[in-house]
A and B are shown apart, each in its own frame.
Chain A
Amino acid sequence: MKTRNIIIIVLAAAILAGAFLWLKPKTENQSKEPETNLSEQKEQATPKPQEFQITIKENKIVSGNSVIRVKRDQEVKLKVTSDVAEELHLHGYDKTLDLEPNVQSELKFMADISGRFPLELHNAEVEIGALEVAPE
């Protein structure tokens, strides 16, 4: 009776653990791929920041994704254009970007904290989107 229970528990735990490992997305580690070219290696050493273009009109994102999804430890470059002078605030990371009317401004940073961070227009006090940084 007791051993039967133990077997059932161990079996269930094994099935669940197996399912977990099977379902969990593999972490792609590009830097571990065998390198052949020296110049390529150099490029790998300084990976290009992931770029996102955002255009804001009347306190709304009219082109580009409102939710920016990246993986942690990825460098991110936001290219933002607004129709009016504004201040864009990335919560959590607590970064601000001054926006001139119809001039593209850039915000570059390392997305090294995982989580969901709202993007807000400070003057209009409007949340226009969010940065979602997935762990690993």
Chain B
Amino acid sequence: MRLNSFFKASALVFLAAAIPQTVLAHAFGQTYTLPVPLWLFLWSAAAAVIVSFLIFGIFVNKKAAQSKPLLTSRVINSGWLAPARIISVALFILTITAGYIGSQEPYLNFNVPFFWLIFMLGLTYSIAIFGDFWPFINPIKNIIEWIEGLTKTKFTGVESYPGKLGYYPALLFFFFIIWLELLSDGIGIVPRNLSFILITYVNLNILFAYWYGKEAWFKYGEFFSVFFRMLGKVAPVEFSNRRINLRWPFSGLIKGKADHFSLLLFILFMLSSTGFDGFRETAIWGEFVTNLSKWLNPQLINAICLILSPFILLAIYLVFIWLMKLMAGSNKKVGDLALVFSFSLIPIAVFYNVAHYFPMLLIQGQTMISLVSDPLGLGWNLFGTADYQLDIRIIDAATVWYSQIALIIIGHIAAVYVAHMEALQVFSKNTLLSQLPILGLMVFYTVISLWIIAQPIAVEAAKESSKNAEFSQNLEGLRQPPPPERPGVQP
């Protein structure tokens, strides 16, 4: 009864918050990034091809890579874990609470920039560098362990996890969160909505972890666990069996393969979701949607294309894998080979993501400086930084271009290397020939990424821009003198 009314109240809050706020933009404001010029695009595409053959030439005579011994390995000091867990759960609670009691302006509430920028981008990149430490800090896992301790029940599962389900639950939430970020008309940047969504997400995960057992659920079902595990494979640090191991970067991608088709789709969506975000800002896409909008709602067109995006990449991927199978004269199935090579796509996805979003993290991430002093937008000034104004000069357009190109090329090199090592393990003969299709595939994906960042950006159609403008205008409000509710604050 009580629970029921809680849900009703939550639903009301959710709706009330969602409806009037639809004027707001997609989750982020502008980053003032200039498209990469044509000459640089052409150069970097050429560089991708040359570099591919270089790797090919250098490593072609190498024998199948023995999984290199780890550089060092230490036992994790468990004394560090307890504070990390408490901080993580505390931040989670702060994020939720701020959404409900703080200002409902996304740029004045800690929870929106913290979740979308610091967590979704910052933590993602930290994990790609420092390894997948998510299992240690995952607040859902920690809450479950506390529940286990308190109720003396173990989350070992009522039913065993259905193998057919694979990673689809995680993929489903992946779709949802990207939709929320890019296409939800700003639902995801209303603090209250975001808190509601996060609470719902955590509760659902606790339920599923109880039903299928936490082990299986955090392996297959919980989005962030799967997402960060994939990212952690890139890192030179590995956590396993209470040990912390130092290894060569990207070497984590060589061992193991996707154990389910859904994981391949998940990895492809890591790449295609970023690609979609970049592409939908371009003039070409704008034209495409305007032309189609006679028949279909633009929102719907966008959503359909977002869902289709990993399947388009999948089709391309399978064609190249099939070519590779032909050239290698292998009798393995295309489907199996597709799973074997799937991890080699991760570097392209990760580095393209960084290339695409780092300007946003650097510029909009600065909102955290003022928000730590005034997390709820109530006019506090805890650390004296509440009046900090965004500095958009910190990166100049040329620096952004060269960093983007460098990142995408590094991702490409890693991908080609990993694919090469995998080919050596899989095919007994003809490795030389079999490499060409995968090389082609990587060049293809890389050039698509480069092409997208080089596309002219559309002047947005009247209807859409009003929404976008609102949010970015609000963000810029931060750079204005503080609002009058902050009396007695001297600059």
Instruction: Tell yes or no: A106 within 8 A of B by CB.
Output: no
* A116 adjacent to B468 (CB under 8 Å): no
* B54 adjacent to A8 (CB under 8 Å): yes
Measured between alpha carbons, how far is A128 from B33 in the docked complex, in Å? 18
What residue of chain A has the Cβ atom nearest to residue B470's Cβ?
A125
Which stretch of A30-38, A39-47, A87-95 is in the interface? A87-95
Q: For B466, list chain A residues within 8 Å (CB).
A: 124-127
- Shortest CB-to-CB span from B37 to chain A, Å, is 8
- Shortest CB-to-CB span from B188 to chain A, Å, is 20
- Shortest CB-to-CB span from A108 to chain B, Å, is 20
* A12 adjacent to B459 (CB under 8 Å): no
* A120 adjacent to B459 (CB under 8 Å): no
Q: What 1/0 flags go to B456-481 for Cβ under 8 Å of A?
A: 11011010011011101100100110
* A114-B476 contact in complex given A20-B43, A127-B468, C-beta closer than 8 Å: no
Q: For A134, list chain B residues within 8 Å (CB).
A: 34, 37, 397
* A129-B459 contact in complex given A23-B43, A120-B473, C-beta closer than 8 Å: yes
Instruction: Tell yes or no: A133 within 8 A of B by CB.
Output: yes
* B398 adjacent to A135 (CB under 8 Å): yes
* A59-B39 contact in complex given A91-B32, A116-B33, C-beta closer than 8 Å: no
Q: For B37, list chain A residues within 8 Å (CB).
A: 25, 134
* B34 adjacent to A19 (CB under 8 Å): no
In the complex, how many residues of chain A place their beta carbon closer than 8 angstroms to a beta carbon of chain B? 41
* A130 adjacent to B457 (CB under 8 Å): yes
Q: What 1/0 flags go to B313-348 for Cβ under 8 Å of A?
A: 000000000000000000000000000000000000
* B50 adjacent to A12 (CB under 8 Å): yes
* B476 adjacent to A91 (CB under 8 Å): yes
Instruction: Tell yes or no: B90 within 8 A of A by CB.
Output: no
Q: What 1/0 flags go to A94-136 for Cβ under 8 Å of B?
A: 1000000000000000000111111010101111111011111
Q: How many pairs, one residue from A and one from B, have CB atoms within 8 Å of each other in the complex?
A: 109
Measured between alpha carbons, how far is A5 from B277 in the docked complex, in Å? 39
Instruction: Tell yes or no: A55 within 8 A of B by CB.
Output: no
Main secondary structure of the interface of B (DSSP, over half): helix
Measured between alpha carbons, how far is A5 from B55 in the docked complex, in Å? 10
Q: For B61, list chain A residues within 8 Å (CB).
A: 1
What residue of chain A has the Cβ atom nearest to residue B465's Cβ?
A127
Instruction: Tell yes or no: A67 within 8 A of B by CB.
Output: yes
What residue of chain A has the Cβ atom nearest to residue B54's Cβ?
A12
The residues in B between 27 and 47 inclusive whose CB is less than 8 angstroms from any CB of A are 30, 32-35, 37, 39-40, 42-43, 46-47
* A114 adjacent to B398 (CB under 8 Å): yes
The residues in B between 444 and 459 inclusive whose CB is less than 8 angstroms from any CB of A are 456-457, 459
Measured between alpha carbons, how far is A109 from B39 in the docked complex, in Å? 29
Measured between alpha carbons, how far is A89 from B469 in the docked complex, in Å? 10
Measured between alpha carbons, how far is A9 from B469 in the docked complex, in Å? 47
* A91-B42 contact in complex given A16-B50, A125-B465, C-beta closer than 8 Å: no
Q: Which residues of A contact B (CB under 8 A)?
A: 1, 5, 8-9, 12, 15-16, 19-20, 23-25, 59-60, 66-67, 72, 89, 91-92, 94, 113-118, 120, 122, 124-130, 132-136
Interchain Cβ contacts under 8 Å between A and B, 14 examples: A5-B57, A5-B58, A16-B43, A23-B42, A24-B39, A25-B39, A91-B472, A91-B476, A116-B30, A116-B33, A116-B34, A125-B469, A127-B459, A135-B396
The list of the 6 closest CB pairs from A to B, nearest first, reads A127-B465, A115-B32, A114-B397, A135-B398, A125-B466, A23-B39
Known contacts A19-B43, A23-B43; 8 additional CB pairs below 8 A are: A1-B61, A8-B57, A91-B472, A115-B34, A116-B35, A118-B472, A133-B397, A134-B34
